Amino acid sequence: MITIEKNKNFKGYLNIFVGGFLFDQVKSRANAMKIASDLAVQRQEKGYTFLGSPKLISHSELLHGGK
């Protein structure tokens, strides 16, 4: 499972978790969503969770490998 959460210690940063482990920290929401989407395609997952809201990957992203 891929989740994006606010970093509680550093305001303005987002944490990206994969399988409960910290994968990356980024400042922009767009960058976090791009990384999570690419990871979901690589891991053959249907989507990810962004700040508690589920986000599904489109069918075309799955067919074209996230491109």
Confidence of residue 63 (pLDDT cuts 50, 70, 90): low
What's the pLDDT score for residue 57? 85
What's the pLDDT score for residue 15? 98
Residue 48 · residue 2 · CB < 8 Å: yes
The residue range of the domain holding 57 is 2-63
Phi-psi region of 16 (alpha: psi -120 to 50; beta: other; left: phi over 0): beta
Cα Rg of the chain, angstroms: 12
Residue 24: partners with Cβ closer than 8 Å, 6 or more residues away: 15, 16, 35
- pLDDT (tens digit per residue) in 8-50: 999 999 999 999 999 999 999 999 999 999 999 999 999 999 9
Total tally of structural domains belonging to the chain: 1
Shortest CA distance to 41 belongs to which of 21, 65, 22, 19?
65
